[in-house]
Amino acid sequence: MAVKTIEWKNDRVIMLDQRLLPHREIYRSYRDYNQVAEAIRSMVIRGAPAIGVAAAMGVALGALHAPDRSFDREFERMVAVLGKTRPTAVNLFWALERMRVVYASQRSKGLATVRRGLKAAALEIFKEDIAANKMIGRYGVPLLRDAKRIMTHCNAGALATAGYGTALGVLRALKEAGRQFEVYVNETRPFLQGARLTAWELKQEKIPATLVTDNMVGYLMQQGRIDAVVVGCDRVAANGDVANKIGTYTVAVLAKRHAIPFYVAGPTSSIDIDCPAGKDIPIEQRDGKEVSHIFGKALAPKGMKVFNPAFDVTDHELVTAIITERGVINPPYRQKIRSHVSH
Ligand code: MRU
């Protein structure tokens, strides 16, 4: 894999610091779960599946260092601390729940077994994510095989996952299938995941790509320059509503207006069957400085009031299909999603 987003090495968690990309490739090494939590919060690592993997590794790390006599209390603390890092991506809570199940099922076998089990579970989550992304890619190819100009928003690539990517996984698979296409990359204000991360990944993959600002989407579509859109997701509600990076909804509305297919790619760990609809998805609000400043430099007058929701919700009516590692979910979503996740 060309990009190593996160790795477990010598009982440490190594992460590529995504805040510094594309100009600097700095790997950070963590041995404490509190540091992992801070890395998730501060976006050293980001993207729903990658956040889940990091949280699981954080628990495994915490378990290695938790003293025997306060192990159970420490376990609860790590899950609580990691669970407070970012509220929207459901993969975080999914991964923590998986770690809790391992803990509960192995606790009676002694702490050495629990520690080993938690580490094995974190590594399994990591491996499964890469395998899921490759399957998403495979299922996505037939849907996008004739699209010559594909738009994506934010970064749903190797950097947002354990590797390969979801939306960018589909693009990678298209390239592997020998299709000729180009990608329009929305810069994705305010954190610039498109300009900094997706552009970087596509360049490394030698996939032809053009960077545009978010407010150019309508014009491009109106000019007939986009054949399809593919994005990732942070949480899919039981009715098919999709939370993804702020601005995704705008892209979806415009795609509908111009009869352009709008695909969502994500693993089933991003589907929250207990969340009835998009309005029930918590939307993270981030520091206003991400909007008022760029690379530490102020853009706006001092003291300017700022609004910075990190995600929005795209209504399921705007989604052409959802691609997971188990196949393609077409509308109507409510019934199909339920049977998709339960089989
Ligand atoms: O705030 P971020 O960078 O974590 O947001 C990322 C996204 O919105 C991605 O599109 C989503 O997590 C899917 S990543 C495979």
* Cβ atoms 45, 22 nearer than 8 A: no
Write the single-letter amino acid at 239: N
Mean pLDDT of 78-100: 98
pLDDT tens digits, one per residue of 199-224 = 999 999 999 999 999 999 999 999 99
Per-residue burial over 201-220, b = 16 or more CB atoms within 10 Å of its CB, e = otherwise: bbeebebebeebebebbeeb
Task: Say if residue 236's pLDDT is above 90.
Answer: yes
Task: Say if residue 3's pLDDT is above 90.
Answer: no
Cβ burial, residue 273 (10 Å; 0-12/13-18/19+): middle
Give the separation between CA 310 and CA 322, rounded to whole angstroms: 21
Residues designated as active site: 234
Instruction: Grade residue 2 by pLDDT with cuts at 50, 70 and 90.
Output: low
Q: Which SS3 state, helix, strand or coil, does residue 205 take?
A: helix
Cα-based torsion angle of the residue sequence 82, 59, 8, 162 in order, rounded to the nearest 10 degrees: -50
Q: Is 247 in the pocket of ligand 1 (CB under 6 A)?
A: no
Task: Say if residue 172's pLDDT is above 60.
Answer: yes
Order of strands, edge to edge, in the sheet holding 235-237? 271-272, 235-237, 242-245, 311-314
Cβ-based neighbour number of residue 243 at 10 Å: 29
Structure tokens at 27: 């790997």
Q: Is 323 in the pocket of ligand 1 (CB under 6 A)?
A: no
pLDDT tens digits, one per residue of 38-55 = 999 999 999 999 999 999
Ligand 1 center to 47 CA (angstroms): 4
Give me the pLDDT at residue 343, please: 73
Q: Is 161 in the pocket of ligand 1 (CB under 6 A)?
A: yes
Choice from 43, 90, 155 to test ligand 1 binding pocket (greatest atom count within 8 A of CB): 155
Element of type H or E holding 132:
helix 111-144
Residue whose Cα lies nearest atom 5 of ligand 1: it is: 47
Give me the pLDDT at residue 1, please: 55
* Cβ atoms 88, 270 nearer than 8 A: no
Query: Which residue do the tokens 């098919």 mark?
Result: 240
- Mean of the per-residue pLDDT values for the chain? 97
- Give the C-alpha distances (Å, rounded to integers) separating 297 from 17, 288, 305: 20, 13, 16
Give the whole-number percent of the chain exceeding pLDDT 90.
98
Ligand 1 center to 244 CA (angstroms): 6
Task: Say if residue 130's pLDDT is above 90.
Answer: yes
Mean pLDDT of 262-283: 98
Ligand 1 center to 261 CA (angstroms): 20
